[in-house]
Amino acid sequence: MSLSTDIHINNNKNNLRKWSLFILSFISVCLSSGLVYGWPTLRRNLIDEYNTTLSEDSLGLIYTIGAWSTQGGRLLFGLARDKFGTRNVCLLSLFGVICGLVGVAVCDANNATSLSISVFCIGLGSGGQLCLQPVASLFDRSGTIIASLR
């Protein structure tokens, strides 16, 4: 093989890696965005269709836990990305979203603890957004920390 063939193969591998990370991150962010924008519908379904006995305060706390993990998770995932790399953090983020979505789907509508944990996991999935933010590459070693404060 010639040097130009080796460079071409390496470029293809890099492009495949970039696109696969982008796709994983995009899926994770799309799924976790439902936490914020889909909460009113989920809340209404819990009350109307599942006849939940949870109070408005409990439902508000569940949403607050999810909203906190959506915002606070970015800082934690930024630190993790600096230490463990983009691919590992992106996969962890996607795993959190999937676990949370399955948790919401199978948990009892009257179990505030299960709903809170599930919504928390969905919120942590928003940490995958850091994998999509090119702003981090403008900074030196701690770029993802700065990008997570955005």
Closest C-alpha to 120, from 46, 56, 65: 65
The residue type found at 43 is: R
Record the pTM: 0.71
Encode pLDDT of 40-67 as tens digits: 888 888 899 889 999 999 999 999 998 8
Encode pLDDT of 95-110 as tens digits: 888 898 899 889 999 9
Q: What is the DSSP letter of 94?
A: H
Where are the domains positioned within the chain? 3-148
Mean pLDDT across 121-140: 65
The residue type found at 143 is: G
Are 41 and 104 within 8 A, CB to CB? no
- The pLDDT, as a whole number, for residue 142 is 52
Cβ-based burial of 57 (10 A; exposed 0-12, middle 13-18, buried ≥19): exposed
